[in-house]
Amino acid sequence: MTFNGKHLLMSSFFFRFFHKTLTMLVLNTTAPRQILHFVLICFPSIQSWQHWLAFPLALLFLVAVVANITILAVIQREQRLHEPMYYFLAILGVSDLVLCTATTPTILGILCFNLKAITLPGCFFQMYIINCFLGIESSTFLFMAYDRYTAICNPLRYTSVITGRFVTKALVFTVLRNTLLSLPMPILAARLDYCSTNVVEHCLCSNPPVTVLACGDRTINTYYQLGIAWSVLGSDLLLIGLSYSMVLRAVWKRRSKGVATKALSTCTSHLILISFFYTILLFLIFINKFQKIIPTDVIIMINVLHYLVPPALNPIVYGVRTKEIRQGMVKGII
């Protein structure tokens, strides 16, 4: 299993096809309404100077794109990195690229050029991409945790369990689970009647700020979103925690053999990124109950940074802490 241009071309074709399919579904299930587009106003309380945020966000976006493309290029070029652990890192890199490129251009367009209008199909497709790829990233972290668990707790079985075939099965499971479970969200949102205002107090078409504009009952939307968040992301987080608790237990038992430091060093990168990803995600899930306490602009900024900071941070952390990747990057420069 290798990641090359054919895989990226197939992915591009898949999402173009899926965008057309989703657009047809949205148009066919859309409730009668007068509005033809939404208006994303980004940060409601700082409209006069929010354009100054464009520079740091654009810089983060540039770092995320360059860093992830660099990591993918190194993994593709170096034959010794054609191993399951680095395949999972490549999947994470692709997911990060899709997330930031599906969200950041919209944000920068609003901040720099006042491009606030977005069509209904475009809005609901962005909603789908956000939910789908957050789930894919979560699933990837889960399989990376299982990879580290097997390497440390069952090292003799590692090469027979974590194989290229295992990575392929994990990828198919990850893509199918998240593409299918995320699909009802934009369709349910499209069925609502948006009869009053089309102004979305957010930079992106995420589910809560869009569906809150609906005039009708959105109970099904709310329960489905919470159900997916806790059943998918919650189960991933639980299994990740279980995997690393067993890793720490195994390391503790071997402390006298001097392997604790080496074993933990292989997991530190994962733990840093997983902790950051889930902490922010859980905060955003719980934040709906405290919207009257925390300023709306703060919530929006945290949401925006969640689509930029992890994609920029992930490849940098792995690039710095993984010797083989560092050597591959140096080799490419030289």
The pLDDT assigned to 208 comes to 87
pLDDT at 8 over 50: no
How much is the pLDDT for 255?
A: 61
Question: Poorest-confidence range of 80-89, 175-184, 209-218, 281-290?
Answer: 281-290
Q: What are the structural domain ranges in the chain?
A: 5-333
CB 303 within 8 A of CB 201: no
Q: What is the share, in percent, of the chain residues with pLDDT greater than 70?
A: 84
Structure tokens belonging to residue 1: 């299993």
Is pLDDT larger for residue 53 or for residue 253?
A: 53
128 contacts: CB under 8 Å, gap ≥ 6 = 22, 182, 183, 185, 186
For the stretch 78-124, pLDDT in tens is 988 999 989 999 999 999 999 999 999 999 999 999 999 999 989 99
**Structure tokens given for 146:** 């299982």
Q: Which two tokens stand for residue 101?
A: 């490129």
Q: What percent of the chain shows pLDDT beyond 90?
A: 51
Using only the alpha carbons of the chain, give its radius of gyration. 21
pLDDT at 57: 96
The mean pLDDT of 255-276, rounded to a whole number, is 69
pLDDT of residue 26: 57
Q: Strands across the sheet with 37-40, in order?
A: 117-119, 37-40, 199-200
Contacts of 91 (CB under 8 A, 6+ apart): 136, 140, 171, 174
Q: Tell me the pLDDT tens digit for each residue of 126-173.
A: 999 999 999 999 999 999 999 989 988 888 899 999 999 999 999 999
Mean pLDDT computed over 40-64: 93
Q: What is the pLDDT of residues 290-299, one digit of tens each?
A: 666 788 898 8
Give the mean model confidence (pLDDT) for residues 48-69.
94
Task: Indicate whether 334 pLDDT > 60.
Answer: no
- pLDDT at residue 215, as a whole number: 85
Sequence-ordered list of residues with C-beta below 8 angstroms from that of 129, at least 6 positions apart, any chain: 15, 98, 99, 102
5-333 maps to CATH 1.20.1070.10? yes
Dig out the tokens for 50 from the structure. Answer: 């929010």
**Of the candidates 62, 122, 127, the residue with the CA atom closest to the CA atom of residue 97:** 62
The confidence score (pLDDT) of residue 22 equals 60
Q: Which of 4-18, 160-174, 253-267 has the highest mean pLDDT?
A: 160-174
The structure's pTM equals 0.88
User: How far apart are the C-alpha atoms of 97 and 301, rounded to whole Å?
Assistant: 20
Q: Which residues pair with 37 in a beta bridge?
A: 119
Residue 45 in this model has a pLDDT that exceeds 50: yes
